Structure 1
């Protein structure tokens, strides 16, 4: 799932959210990663 791949792809999010991005971070990263 995309939500699980993001923390691995972005160490900053992994470190900041302990592997669980906040809603704001998920919204920002979803916008960056949502290519389809």
Structure 2
């Protein structure tokens, strides 16, 4: 059970990282980062 949750977590984190890399060149995301600062 623990290994299953850990595996799902890793897949989720990998997807998040991939999505962030795809979004970085987009202007709305850059504006969002500036708003956070």
- What is the TM-score of this pair, normalised by structure 1? 0.34
Higher RCO (C-alpha under 8 Å, 6+ residues apart): 1
- What is the TM-score of this pair, normalised by structure 2? 0.33
Mark the structure with the bigger radius of gyration.
Answer: 2
